[in-house]
Structure 1
Amino acid sequence: MRHKIKLFSATLAVLALTSMAAQPADDGVRKPNGYRNWFHVNTMVVDKGSPLFDGLGGMHNVHVNPTGEAALKKGKPYPNKTMFVTDLHDFSVVDGSYVMGNLKGVAVMVKDAKKYASTGGWGFQFFAGGDPKKPVVTDAAKQCFACHEPKKSQDYVYSTYIP
């Protein structure tokens, strides 16, 4: 499980580290409304003990839309229009408890086997501060998919269903 978290976090770290670079390409991946009402897959915290903390420290909340929820639970390939959304927040530790803070950004993965064939059927984007007008990803193959390739057997998705 820690390996999965590290690799997923590495993907987001690449996004975060490249966020100050060139103008983002418009690849059609949009930040959806209402994703926090979707199925909550998991939450993880990247804290100071992680080598990824500088670029990606925070609380990560992963959600999947209704289109992908059944596939997640059955461990099957995801149908087109599946979306995973991860919101990344600052956090603090208060009396030994991790407390979610301000939103740092939102990562989106959307399945469209034809449109995103070169990246395993998935489109990727990261929105700085969660602002849909601040996309960060300029080269999904390098910034996102390179880290997802090892998960080909899971349709390139790190998140797994934990009943």
Structure 2
Amino acid sequence: MLIGALVCAATSAFAVEPAPNGITLPEGYRQWQVLAVHQRSDNTTLRAVLGNDAAVKAVREGKTNPWPDGAVLGKLVWKGVKHDRWETALAPGDFVHAEFMVKDSARYPATGGWGFARWVGMAQKPYGTDANFVQECFNCHQPVKDRDFVFTHPAQLP
């Protein structure tokens, strides 16, 4: 069901501020399992979608619409660059941002039960000037309202 574990070589040697809505960068997210990968041709980015233990369990059990409270989805985003030795391949370039969706129906009823957060660049600067930045996220996720506001199709394995 899952692609496998993602282990980033980089470690955080600095404190990361919470998002303006109070969500903190999830501890240990670099060791979460990969649920899916995406390439966006509109902005030439590559994305790895990760899940915490609750999200992984939901995927394995086929219980992702709706996702259970406690599930956290993370998306790590890099600029896609031409691979230096493989003509038809893209490789991760500069790190763009890390985004997270936290499912907590009681805490986030106004945004479909999801809390949103983003940290930009290698410095992991919180995105948004105040807590209202989540409306930008929530508005973007409206086309997948019928899928619990989640774009990701978890990858299937044989």
Q: Counterpart of 1:142?
A: 135
Query: Counterparts of 1:11-50 in structure 2 under 5 Å?
Result: 26-47=20-41, 50=42
- SS of alignment partner, residue 33 of structure 1: coil
Whether contact under 8 Å (2:19, 2:118) holds in the other structure is: no
Matched, 1:158 2:151: yes
Query: Counterparts of 1:73-84 in structure 2 under 5 Å?
Result: 73=60, 74=62, 75-84=64-73
Q: Counterpart of 1:11?
A: none
- SS of alignment partner, residue 153 of structure 1: helix
CA displacement at 1:162 relative to structure 2: 2.8
CA distance in 1, matches of 2:20, 2:134: 14
CA distance in 2, matches of 1:112, 1:128: 23
Q: Counterpart of 2:46?
A: 59
**TM-score computed with the length of structure 2 as normaliser:** 0.73
Residue segments in structure 2 that go unaligned for 5+ positions in a row: 1-17
The one of 97, 100, 110 equivalent to 1:105 is 97
CA displacement at 1:153 relative to structure 2: 2.3
Q: Which has the larger radius of gyration?
A: 2
Equivalent pairs, count? 132
CA distance in 1, matches of 2:150, 2:117: 15
- Write out per-residue CA displacement over residues 9-51 of structure 1, whole angstroms, 9 at most, x where no aligned residue: xxxxxxxxxxxxxxx963122221332322212222224xx2x
C-alpha spacing 1:85/1:69, structure 2 compared with 1 (3 Å): same
- Write out per-residue CA displacement over residues 118-156 of structure 1, whole angstroms, 9 at most, x where no aligned residue: 001101111111544x21134245211112223222211
State the Cα RMSD in Å.
2.1
- Write out per-residue CA displacement over residues 54-112 of structure 1, whole angstroms, 9 at most, x where no aligned residue: xxx32111111111123234034222221111111122112221111221111111111
The one of 50, 58, 80 equivalent to 1:71 is 58
Whether contact under 8 Å (2:37, 2:47) holds in the other structure is: yes
